[in-house]
Amino acid sequence: MSSMVLVGYATRYGSTQEVAEAVATTLRGCGLEVDVEPVRKVRALEGYGGVVLGAPLFMFRWHKDALQFLSRFRKALAERPVAIFALGPVHDPHDEQEWQDSRRQLDKELAKLPWLKPATLAMFGGKYDPAKMGSLLRLFAGKAPASDIRDWEAIRAWTEGLKPIVGV
């Protein structure tokens, strides 16, 4: 099998794409060959030995592009190591409750895919920018201020541990 790694991502507002690009940069720094692509655009997995899939949670669900990718490539993914990360919590990085809620939402989504055995799974803080949202969503979201709690150090540390997992 190829030693090329795919970092596939789903995103609505761009913050997960930036994390995926940082993951790809770190993996390249570890000596791996990496493609980074929105999962919507992925046509085949034949060229890849391992896959990293990243997507945000929205409205208690995982991004639909990630779920569609998993369903489209079920067979190929079951034969490859898959590392997963999700973005979810956006308020206080120390708010245990918010992190637990996001983790529960992700676990619930993944429980619907019993064939999927992620080699590793990470939840990262995300970015919240009401200025980018439509007025209806802003109304729903209330008055929470803009925030960005992506922890680039934690993302880099997690990614550095991926080489023996996805770099086959």
Ligand X SMILES: Cc1cc2nc3c(=O)[nH]c(=O)nc-3n(C[C@H](O)[C@H](O)[C@H](O)COP(=O)(O)O)c2cc1C
Q: Are 88 and 58 in contact (CB under 8 A)?
A: no
Contact residue for ligand X among 6, 105, 109, 155 (CB under 6 A): 105
Is residue 70 a contact partner of residue 32, using CB atoms and an 8 Å limit? no
Find the part of the chain contacting ligand X (CB under 6 A) among 7-15, 32-40, 108-116, 157-165: 7-15
Give the closest residue to 109 by CA, choosing from 75, 67, 73, 78.
Answer: 67
The only residue of 88, 109, 155, 159 in contact with ligand X, by rule CB under 6 A = 88
C-alpha distances in Å from residue 20, one per residue of 23, 31, 33, 35, 139: 5, 17, 14, 10, 29
Which is closer to ligand X, CB of 103 or CB of 163?
103
In the 8-state DSSP scheme, what is residue 80?
S
The span from the first CA to the last CA of the chain, in angstroms, equals 8
Of 31-39, 40-48, 121-129, 156-164, the window that binds ligand X (rule: CB under 6 A) is: 121-129
**126 touches ligand X (CB under 6 A):** yes
Compute the distance between CA of residue 61 and CA of residue 146 in angstroms, rounded to an integer. Answer: 21
Contact pick of 11, 24, 51, 155 for ligand X (by CB under 6 A) = 11
DSSP 66: H
Residue 12 contacts ligand X per CB under 6 A? yes
Q: Determine, following the binding rule CB under 6 A, whether residue 14 of this chain makes contact with ligand X.
A: yes
Stretch that binds ligand X, among 40-48, 50-58, 73-81, 110-118 (CB under 6 A): 50-58
> Nearer to ligand X by C-beta: 27 or 90?
90
List contacts with ligand X (CB under 6 A): 11-16, 56-60, 87-90, 102, 105, 126-128, 133, 137, 141
